[in-house]
Chains A and B, each alone.
Chain A
Amino acid sequence: MAKTITHAEAAEAFLKDADRTQWHDETLWHVRTKRDTAAQKLPEWEQLRENASKVKEYVLSHLDELLVTFEKNAKANGIEVLWAKDAAEHNQHVYEILQKHSVQNIVKSKSILTEECGLNHFLEDKGFDVVDTDLGERIIQFNKQVPSHIVMPAIHLKKKEIGDIFHTHLGTQQGADDPNYLTEAARNHLREKFINANAAITGVNFGIVESGGFVVCTNEGNADMGTHLADVHIACMGIEKLIPRKADLGVYLRLLARSATGQSITNYSSHFHRPRSGKKMYLILVDNGRTEQLGREHFRNSLKCIRCGACMNTCPIYRRSSGFSYNATVPGPIGSILSPGMDLKKHSTLPFASTLCGSCSDVCPVKINIHEQLYQWRQVVTEAGHDSAAKKWAMKIGGKVMGSPSLYDFLGKSARSALKLTPKKLVYSRVNTWGKSRDLPEPPKESFKEWYRKNRKP
């Protein structure tokens, strides 16, 4: 059996480059402050959050009925609707659509769902040319990486590295790292891809039940460039993305971009209701573990997520360890409560990659109690026996010691002298992960109990 990589182990590689870690931390914090500025401009912000949360709770408690109505209305609009219970079925649907229309060249806009389903690799293995068109996603596609952030996929890379990647793949000048120059090169390269694409794949931000349409938000306009030129549009959507009414978009579009990057709205919010005349539009409704998560009382609220990424930008752990350390499609705090539901053993360390400071819950536009769910996942992980052997052992002994005052006194005294006498090398050995980048406090001469007995004797 493959060894499970812990969050701490995965973070180590990123932390080796101290300058980059610092930059990453500061950059994401800057995005967080932009979010604050945007939110504070609206006196009704908390009302919007409350409403967005309540609407999503309504959706989750009526999800089956709403999906049926949504499908009916979408079909009436001329959209073909397919259902996929897991990633494999989703990918198969896409494959069959592409085959049916003899598609060879595919342009994709950002979709975390297709990332979750491993669609790109699946299609590339079958010989398709799949081009991610979001600039950040194209960069990491060249670099054979996955997104490290759901809104800013290439935030882990510096412009110098992106310059090198573009030099290799697009023939830009060696050493050139001006963002304007690099973006222009990508623009020209991707324009050609847009013109030659036969199919466009997009994600879905919101599916509108009452009108059977869906909304896709971008700043680059790449989803639109793709879908309006290609003959076939395939939209891939997690079943939790529904909203009941068109007018609910007023709330969600006000919250989404402000929470994500501090913008008042993305520059393009596209509403698709019917295909272009003579063209095809498909919508795939994907489960892939969502119906299970719905059955977990403590964790079902995670399905309210609208994928703004605000919890990542604010998280002190995410900012300092980067998205790759989570080893999951959705990183950060929200990913740490979604991923254990998909594979508890693989993701067993994620609920512990948090200080439980609660900042994630504070910024969440749909009021998901993220930090409480992290705490609750810890109980599940421990009960399932997936916590590390060292921690299990430490907790067991800790329990015994805390339960016996005499043993506690004795060991306390021994530790105070032992820490003084033991060579540093031994104290900061491999077992002490805490001591890797921190010093232990100077051991006190006496315990509080001893001091109290001496000074406060009646």
Chain B
Amino acid sequence: MSSKNEMLDKIAKNKPPKNTLPELLSFGSGERKEWLEQFSASSALNGGTTIVVKSWEEIESYLKSKFDLDKQTVSLSPDLNGNLDIASILDPHDLEKVELAILEGTYGVAENAAIWMPEEKLAHRALPFIAQHLVVVLESKNLLPDMHEAYRKIDVAASDYGVFIAGPSKTADIEQSLVIGAHGPRSMTVFILDL
């Protein structure tokens, strides 16, 4: 008998009497204005930075002041410039020297600052991990209150791969001291475009 059948037979013999599947949960969602504050606070706790802006120009000037844009910069946002054409990259290993990746997020979750980034918004799955710094632009109208709402809104299986990114790469494995930049981005900046 195959291992599969052996396992399935044992389960059929050993499993408890059938239980019913509970309904999905949903909670009150509060005010949109609160979501923005909640998102910023959660993002800070996760080690990230959230900046609310009114225009793309504001983002541009912030990026100029904070990052060395002469280094390899990939922008997947049509409104912001990079210097590395992502279409020229066929092998993700060639992203090794990327200093800054600028991405557009889909939905952001207020309770934990997680932003859903499906593969289509990444060009390469490796991009938001291999870059030294990460910037994500999110429109304020795409904020959601909590994870229940997020899974209602997003079909996570519609993309071959997708990830909720809530902050930079971090670790506390050495005596519980928080260190940002374990393997991936050393910083994550979220611009919430509040038009």
A interface residues, Cβ below 8 angstroms from B: 27, 30-31, 44, 47-48, 51, 54-55, 57-58, 60-64, 67-68, 83-85, 89, 133-136, 139, 152-155, 158-159, 162, 179-180, 182-184, 186-187, 190-191, 194-195, 208, 210-213, 219-222, 224-225, 227-229, 239, 244-251, 253-254, 261, 263-276, 285, 287, 291-292, 294-295, 297, 300
Are the CB atoms of B166 and A267 closer together than 8 Å? yes
Contact flag A54-B22 (CB < 8 Å), given A67-B8, A250-B147, A271-B162 = yes
Are the CB atoms of A58 and B183 closer together than 8 Å? no
Residues on B with C-beta less than 8 A from A133 are 183
> Which of A134, A135, A222, A273 contacts B174 (CB under 8 A)?
A135
Number of interface residues of B (CB under 8 A): 72
Which residue of B is nearest A208, CB measured?
A: B157
- Residues 46-61 (chain B) with a chain A CB within 8 angstroms: 46-47
Assembly CA distance A263 to B48 (angstroms) = 13
Assembly CA distance A134 to B113 (angstroms) = 23
Q: How far is the CB of A47 from chain B (nearest CB, A)?
A: 7
- In the assembled complex, B189 has its CB within 8 A of some CB on chain A: no
- In the assembled complex, B33 has its CB within 8 A of some CB on chain A: no
- In the assembled complex, B6 has its CB within 8 A of some CB on chain A: yes
Which residue of A is nearest B118, CB measured?
A: A271
> Which of B15, B130, B172 contacts A63 (CB under 8 A)?
B15
> Which of B25, B47, B163 contacts A250 (CB under 8 A)?
B25
Q: How far is the CB of A234 from chain B (nearest CB, A)?
A: 16
> Which of A254, A273, A300 contacts B160 (CB under 8 A)?
A273
Are the CB atoms of B182 and A219 closer together than 8 Å? yes
Which residue of B is nearest A222, CB measured?
A: B183
Are the CB atoms of A220 and B166 closer together than 8 Å? no
Are the CB atoms of A272 and B161 closer together than 8 Å? yes
Could you mark each residue 134-176 of chain B with 1 if its beta carbon is under 8 Å from any beta carbon of chain A, else 0? 0000000000001110111001110111111111111111111
Most buried by A among B7, B19, B174, B185: B174
Are the CB atoms of A271 and B156 closer together than 8 Å? yes
Q: How far is the CB of B13 from chain A (nearest CB, A)?
A: 7
Assembly CA distance A199 to B13 (angstroms) = 37
Residues on B with C-beta less than 8 A from A272 are 161
- In the assembled complex, B112 has its CB within 8 A of some CB on chain A: yes
Assembly CA distance A269 to B162 (angstroms) = 9
Residues on A with C-beta less than 8 A from B159 are 271, 273
Q: How far is the CB of B88 from chain A (nearest CB, A)?
A: 18
Q: How far is the CB of B86 from chain A (nearest CB, A)?
A: 15
Contact flag A246-B156 (CB < 8 Å), given A61-B18, A67-B11 = yes
Are the CB atoms of B146 and A254 closer together than 8 Å? yes
Assembly CA distance A267 to B134 (angstroms) = 13
Residues on A with C-beta less than 8 A from B15 are 60-64, 294
Assembly CA distance A217 to B47 (angstroms) = 17
Q: How far is the CB of A366 from chain B (nearest CB, A)?
A: 13
Can you pick out 10 interface pairs between chain A and chain B where the beta carbons lie within 8 Å of each other? A54-B19, A58-B21, A179-B179, A180-B179, A221-B185, A253-B147, A254-B146, A271-B163, A294-B15, A294-B16
